[in-house]
Amino acid sequence: MSTKKGRKKAREAVGLHELARRSGLTYADLTNLVEVMSAALDAGERVQLTSFGSFRGHKLAPRTFDRRSIANIVGTPDVIVKPERLTVLFSPSPVLRERLNDAGDASGDSLERSA
């Protein structure tokens, strides 16, 4: 499906209730799994799901911007500091990457990364 600008519409996300229905697991089981994974990431551990990929926490350094490099807005301080923050990085496994590439080739659809 295309939007006015010709970009492909994002695919609908699958929530935990739908994953539970498709997998035969209970919603509580999946919620517990997400909690365990979150706790491991909070502790600085890497979480790996075989044939899917791995998640790891990543610390982004603080960044400083000069007002002139962003926009010259009256009342904006001369230097804007974006504090250090944490994010999660996901690395797909080779198995998942291959499956996604094969699925894109079969449908004539390519999964595009938006910038």
H or E stretch at 106: helix 94-107
Domain residue ranges of the chain, discontinuous segments joined by +: 12-45, 47-108
Q: What is the share, in percent, of the chain residues with pLDDT greater than 70?
A: 71
pTM: 0.63
The yes/no answer on whether domain 47-108 falls in CATH 3.50.50.60 is: no
Residue type at 44 in one-letter notation: G
Q: List beta partners, residue 86.
A: 59
Residues 19-45: pLDDT tens digits? Answer: 999 999 999 999 999 999 999 999 999
